[in-house]
Amino acid sequence: MSSIPLLRQIVLRRDPIWQCIDFGERIVAAALLAALSPALIAVALITIILSGRSPLIAHRRVGLYGRELWVMKFRTMWERKSRLRLPHLAWIEYIDDSDGPELKGPRDLRVSSRFARFCRRHSIDELPQLVHVVLGSMSLVGPRPVTREELHRIYGADAGEVVQQKPGMAGLWQVSGRNRLTLQERKALDVELVRKRSPRLYFEILVRTIPEVLTGANSW
């Protein structure tokens, strides 16, 4: 891995423009959380009723500089006949699922609810990650956070370069074909996002993400 891309990432982080973008997206994420709070509470309650389990889950992923990051999502996988167990109910269940991402597919039998499929199709399940953006551990745009095993298996020699940028809720591969892309295509687009990082690309991805989320195209 060349030291030049890493040096560029260090310079970009100190760029006043990127510092303003970082501050601005935290404000935007906080505003979105406040505006969407009634809907988020409704999703959480429906999830509790349907699943009988905690509405939020947190997956162990690799964050900025290779640090551990527990990424939050709304639960979308549960048994069909789950029973509500209030004495054992917690808001968040922490899951270390190194193999989980590989099982994901358009006919994933683990997603047994129409409501859950709708949330996944339109990325509603990922809205809790706005909390990570507010806290500064994630960005609105960046490489998707992956497990440590995936990081080295998928990115190989480019892994160290990828983790020099905050993981993001949206990225280049998500607006370029989303789940229909192969792992190698996703890798190429994530590396391109890191190496060609610019304010113009950042805002272009944000704008392109809106119709992707609304239509739910190529998502499962």
The answer as to whether 34 is a domain residue is yes
| Prediction pTM value | 0.87
Whole-angstrom distance, CA of residue 149 vs CA of residue 166: 18
Q: Which domain holds residue 156?
A: 3-215
pLDDT recorded at residue 4:
52
What is the tally of structural domains in the chain? 1
Q: Give the residue from 126, 136, 24 showing the smallest Cα distance to 71.
A: 126
pLDDT recorded at residue 159:
95
The answer as to whether 220 is a domain residue is no
The answer as to whether 14 is a domain residue is yes
The answer as to whether 13 is a domain residue is yes
The answer as to whether 21 is a domain residue is yes
The answer as to whether 62 is a domain residue is yes
In sequence order, what are the residues at sequence separation of 6 or more whose Cβ sits closer than 8 angstroms to the Cβ of residue 33? 40, 130, 131, 134
The answer as to whether 23 is a domain residue is yes
pLDDT recorded at residue 15:
82
Average pLDDT, 10 consecutive residues per value, the chain (220 residues): 57 79 97 98 95 94 95 90 59 79 62 92 97 98 94 94 95 91 93 94 96 84
The answer as to whether 187 is a domain residue is yes
